[in-house]
Structure 1
Amino acid sequence: MNLGEKIKECRKQAGFSQEQLAERLNVSRQAITKWETNKGIPDIANLIAISDEFGLSLDELIKDDVAVKKKIITDSSAKKWHILMIVYLVAIVAYIVYFVICHKILMIGFLVATLFMLFFELRIFIREKIYRQRKE
C-alpha cells in the first residue's frame, strides 16, 4: 500500500473529510487530494503531522513507498547544499572585506561578483522554499 492509500484509509477510519483533515494539518484540501491520489508527496513536516494525527509512526506511514523516501533524501540534501553555499559565500565576502580594510587592496569587482552570487543563491533558496509551500 502506498502513502496516498494509507492517508486516505486512515482519514476515512478517523471519520474525517478531506476538508477537516486539511484544517487539522493547516494545509489546503487540494493538498490532501494530491497526496491521496499520489500526484504529490507531503514534505517531512507534513508527514510528521499526519503520523501524529493518526497515531502512526513515520516508519509505518512511509515504509513501503520508495518515492517518499527518495523525496525526503533529495529535499534534505538540496537544503544542505543551499545552506552550505550561502555560508561559503558569506565567508568569501568577509574575507574580501578583511583584505580591503587591512591591506588597502581594491577588490571591488570581486566583492560585487561575490555579492551577486550570494544574492542569486539566496533567491533560488527562497524561491524553492516558497514553491514547495505552495505545492502542498
Structure 2
Amino acid sequence: MKLGRLNHVGVATPSIEASVALYRDVLGATGVSEPFDLPAQGVRVCFVDTPNTQIELIEPLGQASPIHGFLAKNPAGGQHHLCYEVPDILEAKAWFEGKGARLLGEPRIGAHGTLIFFVHPKDMGGVLTEIMETPKGAH
C-alpha cells in the first residue's frame, strides 16, 4: 500500500459561516466552496482551498452527528481529522486491517464523491485519520 498526498485537514466548527469569515477575512482565503449537506454522514461541509491542500469545515447536522459529540467536548471547534489519498481504497482497507488497525465503519462515499473510511485515532498516534481513494482525474 502506498500512502498518497494529504488531501485535506478536517476542522469541526459550530458555524461554517463564521469559519468561512475567519479563513476569508483573517487568512485571505479566496477559494471557498458553497456549503453542502451530507445527511448520510450527519454533517454539512465546505472546502477552503490552500496552495497545497484543502481545509474541510465540518458542521453537525443535528444531535446524532458525530461532529455534535466532538463539539460538545470542544465547543469552539478544532482539528477533527487528517485525510490522505490512496490509489485503491479496498487495497488500503485490507492493508490497515492486516496491520491490526481498527476501522470505523466500511468504505462509503465521502464529501469528494469517492470512497473513504476512517481509522481509529488510538491506532494512528491519537489522530483520527480518513483514507480516501484518489478522485479520478485529480492532480
TM-score tier after normalising by the smaller chain length: under 0.3
Please give the TM-score of this superposition, normalised by the length of structure 1.
0.24
Larger % of helix: which?
A: 1
Task: Give the structure with higher Rg (CA).
Answer: 1
Please give the TM-score of this superposition, normalised by the length of structure 2.
0.24
Larger % of strand: which?
A: 2
